[in-house]
């Protein structure tokens, strides 16, 4: 009888072992800041075979992936990729936004200190993000035995993807010329990070973000994390989030065409090739699941477009703020518009209350005045968006992008290819933020563990990325997720 029971116990243990959930050893999220979808093919013939072309030729591409909210900016993009959610739920309403009549930065946190420098550039955390991320859910699924680490030059691009329960996030402190973190994560830098910083520092104040060196430095740090933290070598799946910031900074400065943009994507391809080889060597080819995407796209420069007879132009948002305040001063005796940001106008509640005015009267008057500007296709009261006549696809993106108390009271949609920038015949740069394809159409590639080669043109959204990854890991999707697993 005892022998039968022993055999039964062995059989049960064998079945249990065979039923173990299969997961990759490592998940890598790679975000290329401001990478338009068409860059996959615009530079395709010049890419090497081991970088972006390796992902395209060996992975699965969701060719019709769009951002389904506006404004389309960095902080929102990074948070949405990893939460599967939109600003209406995450609370990340922009890189900067207003709360209680005060401008705030999405990741600033004066309750923490910089670790690795004495500057305020390290006083950052994810506390303003109200929802969980892929990494948070991975930690919950493994009882916090997984390691989750984020890295980028931009603090928001390292912090928001890694999530609340991350083991670490590292970003570049320009004033110090090296990577730092904050006491949200740890009290001192690991020795290996201090060693890395000594070997790879730059002169303080050097703007590495506008240099191709920024691409290389980020991948070098990612490889150092991989090696020193032994990611992918434990009992549980680990996660590394990497964001390349220089592509955005260079795009803003020099636009979507020309030598500078070309060169940074050639550098990206070269460094990505090296990074993939490091993953193969340290984790094992086929043992990691990697996804590549972008936080937003970018508009072609308006001078470039006009040179080819394509309608385009610059919107002088400061002139709109000044003109609107002048009008409201004449009408109500106050100038209540604090600022324009994220294609939204922010009103000063305290000034309106002190003047004894009804806020709705001020909003209605402001909307009426702004509608006279031919640069705008639509001007609307954010709280009454459902009453506004506009195409449903634009309305949906505006609704998804609005968070009461952090977004502006009045939203605008400019004409296509008109974006907020200085109006100058010598201006070469670009920007982003609007609901049109040049800002919303982004790459989404899956590569590695259990990924078959292929592509689809089926409609996909940025918020579908997180549930797609979570479904493959057999873990719950983030708690504010609105996307669909693909």
27 closest CA partner among 148, 170, 157: 148
DSSP characters over 148-212: EEEEESSHHHHHHHH-TT-SEEEEEETTTTEEEEETTT-SS--HHHHHHHHHH---TT--GGGST
Q: 267: which residues sit within 8 A by CB, 6+ positions away?
A: 212, 215, 216
Distances (CA, A) of 239 to 78, 138, 177, 222, 292: 15, 8, 26, 11, 14
Helices 213-228 + 191-200 axis angle, to 10: 150
**Distance (Å, whole) CA 138 – CA 471:** 11
The verdict on whether omega for the bond into residue 71 sits within 30 degrees of 0, i.e. cis, is yes
Spatial distance between the Cα atoms of 34 and 442, rounded to a whole number of angstroms: 9
**Rounded to 5 degrees, what are φ and ψ at 70?**
-145, 140
CA distance 158 to 168: 9
Largest CA distance in the chain: 97
How many helices and strands, by DSSP H and E, does the chain display? Answer: 18, 21
Distance CA 119, CA 366 (A): 40
Structure tokens at 96: 């900067």
> Which of 65, 72, 74, 133 is the catalytic position?
74
Contact in structure between 100 and 353 (CB atoms under 8 Å): no
CA angle 94, 98, 103 (to 5 degrees): 100
Token pair belonging to 140: 């919950």
> Could you confirm whether 74 is annotated as catalytic?
yes
**Which residues carry out catalysis?**
74
């Amino acid at each position: 009888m005892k022998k039968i029971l022993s055999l039964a116990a062995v059989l049960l243990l064998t079945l249990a072992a065979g039923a173990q959930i299969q997961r990759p050893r490592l998940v890598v999220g790679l975000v290329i800041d401001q990478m338009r979808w068409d860059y996959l093919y615009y530079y395709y013939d010049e890419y090497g075979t081991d970088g972006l072309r390796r992902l395209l030729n060996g992975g699965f591409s969701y060719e019709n992936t769009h951002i389904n909210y506006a404004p389309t900016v960095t902080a929102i993009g990074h948070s949405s990729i990893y939460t599967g959610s939109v600003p209406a739920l995450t609370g990340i309403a922009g890189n900067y936004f207003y709360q209680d009549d005060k401008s705030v930065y999405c990741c600033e946190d004066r309750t923490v200190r910089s670790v690795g420098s004495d500057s305020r550039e390290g006083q950052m955390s994810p506390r303003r993000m109200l929802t969980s991320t892929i990494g948070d859910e991975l930690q919950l699924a493994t009882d916090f035995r997984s390691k989750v680490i984020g890295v980028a030059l931009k603090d928001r691009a390292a912090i928001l993807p890694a999530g609340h329960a991350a083991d670490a996030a590292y970003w570049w402190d320009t004033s110090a010329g090296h990577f730092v973190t904050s006491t949200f994560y740890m009290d001192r830098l690991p020795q290996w990070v201090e060693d890395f910083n000594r070997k790879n520092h730059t002169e303080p104040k050097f703007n590495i973000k506008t240099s191709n060196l920024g691409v290389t430095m980020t991948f070098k740090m990612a490889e150092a994390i991989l090696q020193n933290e032994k990611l992918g070598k434990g009992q549980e799946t680990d996660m590394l989030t990497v964001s390349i910031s220089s592509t955005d900074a260079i795009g803003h400065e020099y636009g979507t065409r020309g030598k500078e943009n070309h060169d940074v994507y050639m550098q990206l391809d070269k460094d990505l090739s090296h990074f993939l080889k490091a993953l193969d060597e340290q984790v094992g080819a086929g043992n990691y699941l990697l996804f590549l995407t972008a936080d937003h796209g970018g508009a072609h420069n308006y001078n470039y477009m006009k040179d080819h007879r394509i309608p385009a132009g610059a919107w002088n948002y400061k002139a709109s703020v000044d003109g609107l305040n002048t009008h409201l001063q004449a009408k109500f005796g106050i100038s209540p518009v604090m600022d324009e940001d994220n294609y939204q106008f922010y009103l000063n509640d305290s000034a309106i209350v002190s003047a004894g005015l009804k806020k709705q009267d001020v909003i209605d008057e402001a909307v009426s005045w702004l509608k006279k500007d031919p640069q705008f296709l639509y001007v609307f009261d954010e709280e009454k968006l459902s009453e506004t006549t506009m195409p449903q696809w634009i309305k949906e993106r505006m609704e998804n992008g609005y968070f009461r108390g952090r977004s502006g009271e009045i939203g605008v949609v400019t004409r296509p290819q008109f974006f907020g920038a200085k109006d100058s015949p010598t201006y070469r740069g670009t920007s982003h933020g609007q609901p049109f394809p040049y800002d919303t159409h982004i790459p989404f590639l899956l590569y590695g563990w259990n990924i078959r080669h292929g592509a689809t043109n089926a409609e996909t959204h940025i918020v579908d990325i997180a549930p797609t990854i979570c479904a493959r890991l057999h873990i719950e999707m983030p708690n504010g997720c609105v996307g669909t697993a693909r």
